[in-house]
């Protein structure tokens, strides 16, 4: 989906970029209730209410309600950052220093053309130092903050939110303050956490709703009768201590497991030449 290079000091590493993740959501089309035909979305003008062809559509920024400033395509190209074809490495940091709230999208990077040796060099140096790279890249006219790290035998780039794109927790209403924690409840809560702690295995989790929805669709395609399954009744536990005790009893059969593995630490590195 993108070809360019990693700029690593004076080293240029030609790379190709591929989406590392994919959404597995089952998407529905909007249909006409009687004809079961797809609904088409049409671009119309608010004043004349007529359909507008793509060739007649330009970009505008609404700076006041109902007032726009028009921005031309050549004006946008003139200010496009020079990182349009380059993943420009700025710094190296420890992965643990980045809170997960900053992570956005993931992309695999593979060497392109004659970039194999430099690619392996950067990958090896990052593995040995335990560092990840902070970089800038322009994707679809947007300059993104990103990090590059080692994932298996591959370099993985993840776009990051800028600090001003992450909302402050001070804006979250109703956060509790000044509440004393009961010591016995705290100890029981920690015991429950220990009982439920295990090494992280992503294969242990699945989207149960998507599986059931796919099964429902398959059965409908095959003409099978679909009947609603009654939801299992849930025990009502009102008291917090009672809820903790019941949870500990329910998990008593599972032996304590080792804490989940943490991501390896990372540290700073200088440019290498190839």
Domain boundaries defined on the chain: 2-24+79-165
pLDDT tens-digit readout, 10-25:
888 889 999 898 888 8
Tell me the pLDDT band of 229, cut-offs 50, 70 and 90.
Answer: low
C-alpha angle with apex 75: 70 to 81, nearest 5 degrees? Answer: 130
Contact (CB, 8 A) for 132 and 156: no
Confidence (pLDDT) at 69: 92
- Average pLDDT for 36-61: 87
151-169 residue pLDDT tens: 999 999 999 999 999 999 9
User: For a pLDDT cut of 70, what percent of the chain falls above it?
Assistant: 86
Contacts of 79 (CB under 8 A, 6+ apart): none
Q: Give the chain's mean pLDDT.
A: 83
The answer to whether residue 254 scores a pLDDT higher than 60 is no
**CATH architecture for residues 2-24+79-165:** Beta Barrel (2.40)
Most confident by average pLDDT, 32-36, 234-238, 254-258: 32-36
Which pLDDT value is given to residue 230? Answer: 57
Q: Rounded to two decimals, what is the model's pTM?
A: 0.73
Highest mean pLDDT among 72-81, 226-235, 257-266: 72-81
Block residue for tokens 């992280």: 200
With cut-offs at 50, 70 and 90, classify the pLDDT of residue 76. confident
pLDDT tier at 265 (50, 70, 90 boundaries)?
A: very low
What is residue 246's predicted lDDT score, i.e. its pLDDT?
Answer: 83
Given this model, what pLDDT does residue 228 score? 62
Confidence check: pLDDT of 27 > 80 = yes
Q: Which residues are within 8 A (CB) of 180 and not within 5 positions of it... i.e. 6 or more apart?
A: none
Token reading at 263: 């991501």
- Do 157 and 144 form a contact (C-beta atoms < 8 A)? no
Confidence band of 274 (pLDDT split at 50, 70, 90): very low
State percent of the chain over pLDDT 90. 33
Which of 8 and 82 is assigned the larger pLDDT? 8
Q: What is the pLDDT of residue 111?
A: 93
Q: How confident is the model at residue 225 (pLDDT cuts 50, 70, 90)?
A: low
pLDDT of residue 2: 86
Q: What secondary structure does DSSP assign to the chain, as a single string?
A: -EEEEEEETTEEEEEEEEE-----PPPPPPB-TTT--BPPP--B-TTT--B--GGG--EEEEEETTEEEEE-HHHHHHT--TTTTEEEEEEEE-GGGS-GGGEEEEEEEEE-TT-HHHHHHHHHHHHHHT-EEEEEEEETTEEEEEEEEEETTEEEEEEE--GGGSPPGGG-TT---SPPPPHHHHHHHHHHHHHT-----GGG---HHHHHHHHHHHHHHTT----PPPPPP-----SHHHHHHHHHHHTTTSPP-PPPPPPPP---------
- 270 or 138: which carries more pLDDT confidence? 138
Q: Are 124 and 188 in contact (CB under 8 A)?
A: no
Report the range of poorest mean pLDDT among 25-34, 98-107, 124-133, 261-270: 261-270
Mean pLDDT of 247-265: 59
Cβ atoms within 10 A of the Cβ of 111, count? 19
């Amino acid at each position: 989906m993108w070809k360019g290079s990693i700029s690593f000091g004076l080293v240029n590493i030609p790379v190709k970029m591929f989406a590392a993740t994919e959404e597995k959501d089952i998407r529905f089309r909007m249909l006409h209730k009687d004809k079961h035909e797809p609904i088409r979305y049409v671009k119309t003008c608010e004043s004349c209410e007529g359909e507008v062809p793509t060739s007649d559509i330009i970009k505008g920024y609404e700076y006041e309600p109902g007032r726009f400033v028009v921005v031309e395509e050549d004006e946008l190209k003139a200010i496009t950052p020079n990182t349009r074809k380059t993943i420009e490495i700025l710094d190296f940091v420890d992965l643990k220093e980045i809170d997960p709230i900053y992570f956005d999208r993931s992309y695999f990077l593979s060497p392109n053309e004659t970039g194999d040796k430099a690619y392996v060099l950067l990958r090896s140096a990052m593995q040995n130092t335990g560092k990840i790279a902070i970089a800038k890249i322009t994707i679809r006219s947007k300059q993104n903050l990103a990090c590059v790290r080692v994932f298996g035998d591959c370099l993985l780039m993840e776009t990051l939110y800028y600090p001003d794109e992450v909302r402050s927790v001070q804006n979250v209403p109703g956060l509790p303050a000044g509440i004393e924690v009961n010591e016995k409840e705290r100890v029981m809560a920690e015991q429950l956490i220990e009982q439920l702690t295990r090494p992280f295995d992503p294969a242990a989790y699945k989207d149960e709703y998507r599986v059931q929805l796919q099964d429902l669709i398959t059965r409908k395609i095959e003409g099978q009768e679909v009947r609603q399954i009654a939801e299992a009744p849930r025990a009502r536990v009102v008291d917090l201590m009672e809820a903790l005790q019941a949870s500990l009893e329910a998990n008593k059969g599972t032996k304590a497991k080792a804490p989940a593995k943490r991501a390896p630490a990372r540290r700073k590195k200088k440019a290498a030449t190839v």
